[in-house]
Amino acid sequence: MTIEDLYQNDLILLECLSGSKAYGLDTPQSDTDIKGVFLLPRRDFYGLQYVPQVSNPSNDIVFYEFGRFMELLALNNPNILELLGTPAESVISRRWPFESLQMREILSKRCKDTFGKFAMSQIKKAKGLNKKIMTPVDQERKTPLAFCFVNHLNGSIPVQKFLEINNWKQEDCGLVNIPNMKDVYGLYHSESVPYAGIIRSPQSNDIALSNVPKGATQIALLYFNRDGYSTYCKDYREYWEWVEHRNDIRYENTQSHGKNYDAKNMMHTFRLLNMAIEIAEQQQIIVRRPDRSFLLDIKSGKYEYEALLDLAHEKQQLMETAFDRSGLPEHPNLEYIRDWTIAARERYYGNPPTFSTPSPS
């Protein structure tokens, strides 16, 4: 099933502008994101063709099947609550039952975890990018040789320095295990003995062991920092995967404001924390942001990275306190959500809806 199928078969129940254009945080460079809800035809729903979500290749248009949407709504998922609370000016189309779903039956103290954890994940992303920007990894990949050291005088030196001092090639060296000494090897050298080398080739991911002739003299002890090499390989892979797939516009923005953090991630951290506080105190979803100026200042790099981290933790404490004092229920009204889900299916599949709307509290 494709986005085109949803439009052609009139399956869409809700369609909205989402992201920055719904928040009122868009700039001329902002993409147009669309989210919505569709209802599968009866045959597909009852048969073997259930499709929980449909999106376009760039994932900037996403539609959730009604049942999946309601399932996520019952979990107080932030993306789903924002979609349900989209301001009228960002709604492209809305059909029953979205005209009359009652937010008071849905919002609960679960939002403390869902919005709070989502916000903290944005900080984690910002920290990850900060690390990548501040500690770039050379494209030329290091070999295990860079993580090998030998005893020298009263300390140790890198094996590459040791080889340089002695004017030796690593290919003329051999290593043997030293019993009871993890990652420590006896180092031998000879230009006439066919040793395997410290590593077999520049593509090697481990040191090599050799057969050493009886009576050969051990030159030194070599230590291979295996854990350090493993960490380096992980960092190297993650860094260059990030370079390959990074959003160049966001990266250039990060470079231009000179603060070395992903300002968009940090902006969304505070958007989510402020929305969570509003849910606890006002019991409503405010999608169009009243704190627009503050959020755009973050996005433009007005604040220092460490100051934002401190402020985020203060906001997190305010959020915790707001939910402790909130009159929200602990959980959404699952019976209400279930009834609406069943009623919508019955209505669109040709059966009369049978449910009762809770009386006003």
Q: Which domains does the chain have, with CATH numbers?
A: 1-106+332-361 (3.30.460), 116-134+248-325 (no CATH), 144-230 (no CATH)
Q: What is the pLDDT of residue 129?
A: 55
Q: What is the mean pLDDT of residues 278-306?
A: 92
The percentage of residues in the chain with a pLDDT greater than 70, rounded to a whole number, is 88
Q: What is the pLDDT of residue 259?
A: 53
Tokens of 269: 């951290």
pLDDT for 37 beyond 70: yes
Tell me which of 137 and 335 has the higher pLDDT.
Answer: 335
Contact between 212 and 188 under an 8 Å Cβ cutoff? The reply is yes
Residues 76-117: tens digit of each pLDDT: 999 999 999 999 999 999 988 787 788 899 999 999 999 988
Residues 43-72: tens digit of each pLDDT: 888 888 889 999 998 889 999 999 999 999
- Average pLDDT for the chain: 88
Q: What is the pLDDT of residue 119?
A: 83
Tell me which of 26 and 15 has the higher pLDDT.
Answer: 15
Residue 284 banded pLDDT, cuts 50, 70, 90: very high
Burial of 122 (0-12, 13-18, 19+ CB in 10 A): buried
The percentage of residues in the chain with a pLDDT greater than 90, rounded to a whole number, is 65
Q: Distance (Å, rounded) from C-alpha 187 to C-alpha 210?
A: 10
Residues 202-233: tens digit of each pLDDT: 999 999 999 999 999 999 999 999 999 999 99
Q: What is the pLDDT of residue 131?
A: 57
Give the predicted TM-score (pTM) of the model: 0.64
Q: What is the CA radius of gyration of the chain?
A: 30
Residues 312-327: tens digit of each pLDDT: 889 999 999 999 999 9
Angle subtended at Cα 54 by Cα 48 and Cα 56, rounded to the nearest 5 degrees = 140
CA distances 199 to 89, 150, 170, 192, Å, are 64, 15, 8, 18
